[in-house]
């Protein structure tokens, strides 16, 4: 069994862990390949794996479907944790116990990336624990999206011992009260919840409306930019496919889907001002998202038991010079539904031309 081999190999890796994580870039170690330099010798084994991820899972380093889904998987694995209800957090249980966890309603559609990562691990003889693999793949995936921050990656998570309990993953039809309470149970405040939703700038939906798979959440799904925080704040006028789907509300442009939960978080007094603060501030989005992901990626683990291998993660490209926060074509500032009570929504210019339709994210 592949996971027997993975778990056995993890015991050997455990012996290589150091008691305290080495601060990122405080030391430099030259790897035996003569090419890479890292903060800790144990990280050297990850460079070839990163190269294989880029070439064989992410289509040569694209911010495409597998990258989007790998980022989603980091969250769905990690948030399966509660101090009172159980779950191991970011431990890879969603891969090891996939028969259980992919059947959860909140994990609809995630079986594709779970299967893809399991097949990758098997075909490339991957010998790190699944929890490490999921977070590594997610961080590499994000690095392929221009405008993203370089995410931290800590190495050395122990193998999972059981499946996560059901009903710990928020759903798009949940109330804001329910979502904030679930995140608070896992250790996140309201601002961190909004920051984590920055992931929706490079996300698409396959299962909300099954008639239109690959429908993005904003108009620039290949860029890690602030557009999702602008476009979710715009007045909804249509459904991109069929109406009446659970967890979906009207979106502002054809070809774009809007989650009910995003819409309500953007308009709730507890989260609206932080949502608005991210609408035209790329640096703030990068900093807030990196910090929230840094926290999420080690749910269930002690930070000082892990090794900082962040320097194996590629540095993302900056946003193109032509990119920047904007309104959609044929819209005006009046299409913004102001929700923050303490500051006006930033004044933005619409792209020129008539209203257009957002293209779906193509399958690989």
Instruction: Check 76, 105, 124, 326 and give the catalytic one.
Output: 76
* 147 known member of a binding site: no
Task: Answer yes or no: is 311 a known binding residue.
Answer: no
Q: Is 201 annotated as a binding residue?
A: yes
Task: Tell whether residue 225 is among the known ligand binding residues.
Answer: yes
262 is in an annotated binding site: no
Look up 76 and say whether it is catalytic: yes
Q: According to the annotation, is 93 in a ligand binding site?
A: yes
Structure tokens at 6: 């993975």
Per the annotation, where are the binding residues for Ca(2+)? 77, 89, 91, 93, 201, 218, 220, 225
Per the annotation, where are the binding residues? 77, 89, 91, 93, 200-201, 218, 220, 225
- Tell me which residues are annotated as active site: 76
Per the annotation, where are the binding residues for heme b? 200
């Amino acid at each position: 069994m592949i996971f027997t081999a993975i778990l056995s190999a993890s015991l050997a890796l455990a012996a290589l862990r150091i008691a305290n994580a080495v601060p990122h870039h405080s030391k430099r170690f030259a790897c035996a390949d003569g090419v890479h330099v890292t903060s800790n010798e144990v990280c050297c084994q990850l460079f070839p794996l990163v190269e294989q991820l880029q070439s064989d899972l992410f289509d040569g380093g694209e911010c495409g479907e597998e990258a989007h889904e790998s980022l989603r998987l980091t969250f769905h694995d990690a948030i399966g944790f509660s101090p009172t209800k159980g779950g191991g957090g970011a431990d890879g249980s969603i891969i090891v116990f996939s028969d259980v966890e992919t059947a959860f309603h909140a994990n609809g559609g995630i079986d594709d990336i779970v299967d893809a990562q399991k097949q990758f691990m098997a075909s490339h003889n991957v010998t790190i624990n699944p929890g490490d693999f999921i977070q590594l793949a997610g961080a590499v995936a994000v690095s392929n999206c221009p405008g993203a921050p370089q995410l931290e990656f800590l190495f050395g998570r122990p193998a999972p011992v059981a499946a996560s309990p059901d009903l710990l993953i928020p759903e798009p039809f949940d109330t804001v009260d329910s979502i904030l309470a679930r995140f608070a149970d896992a250790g996140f405040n309201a601002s961190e919840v909004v920051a984590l939703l920055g992931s929706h700038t490079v996300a698409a939906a396959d299962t909300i409306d099954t008639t239109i798979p690959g429908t993005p959440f904003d108009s620039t799904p290949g860029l890690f930019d602030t557009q999702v925080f602008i476009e979710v704040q715009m007045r909804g006028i249509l459904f991109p496919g069929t109406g009446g789907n659970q967890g979906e509300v009207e979106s502002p442009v054809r070809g774009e889907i809007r989650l009910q939960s995003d819409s309500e978080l953007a308009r709730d007094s507890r989260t609206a001002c932080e949502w608005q603060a991210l609408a035209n501030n790329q640096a703030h989005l990068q900093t807030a998202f990196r910090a929230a992901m840094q926290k999420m990626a080690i749910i269930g683990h002690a930070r000082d038991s892990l090794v900082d291998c962040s320097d194996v993660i590629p540095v993302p490209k900056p946003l193109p010079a032509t990119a920047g926060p904007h309104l959609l074509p044929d819209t005006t500032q009046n299409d913004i539904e102001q929700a923050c009570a303490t500051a006006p929504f930033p004044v933005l210019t619409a792209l020129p031309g008539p209203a257009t339709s957002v293209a779906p994210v193509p399958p690989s």
